[in-house]
Amino acid sequence: MCRFSLAVLCSLILLLATSTADAAPADLSGMYRCQGTSDQGTPYSGVVEIKQVRKGYQLTWTVDKTKYAGIGFIHDGYLSVAWTVKTVNGTAIGVLLYKVKEDGTLEGKWTDPSLNGVYDETLTPIKGDRTI
């Protein structure tokens, strides 16, 4: 039930994207280094590719050998993202909110279906592979 409710919430947020998304001040497309805190309290790192698609964005995280997929949109200086990952129990869905900083860094907070906490994640543009 919790996963269904989270999926419905994510869907509603993303449906609003077409009517409420602001024009992005700059294209966020490119490659980023990712650093964050896992739901186990341990640090993780990886890379994230962000692609602009119409009025939104597609994101692909690669952390160790695990791939996560997400979609999102920008509103009032924040990139709002719903993400998924395949697990042994099915597909996990989560949400993430990044503050778009002037230097191109994205500072974020995320949670997953367990709702046991809110965790940090920062994306730093990889120089030479980012449109500013």
Give the chain's mean pLDDT.
84
Please give the single-letter amino acid code of residue 55. Answer: K
pTM, whole model, 2 decimals?
0.78
Instruction: Check pLDDT > 60 for residue 61.
Output: yes
pLDDT digits (tens, 9 = 90+) for 1-42: 555 444 444 443 444 443 344 444 579 999 999 999 999 999
**How far is C-alpha 108 from the geometric centre of its chain's CA atoms?**
8
Beta-carbon contacts of 129 under 8 Å, excluding residues fewer than 6 positions away, are 30, 31
SS3 for 59?
strand
Closest by CA to 38, choosing from 81, 79, 85, is: 85
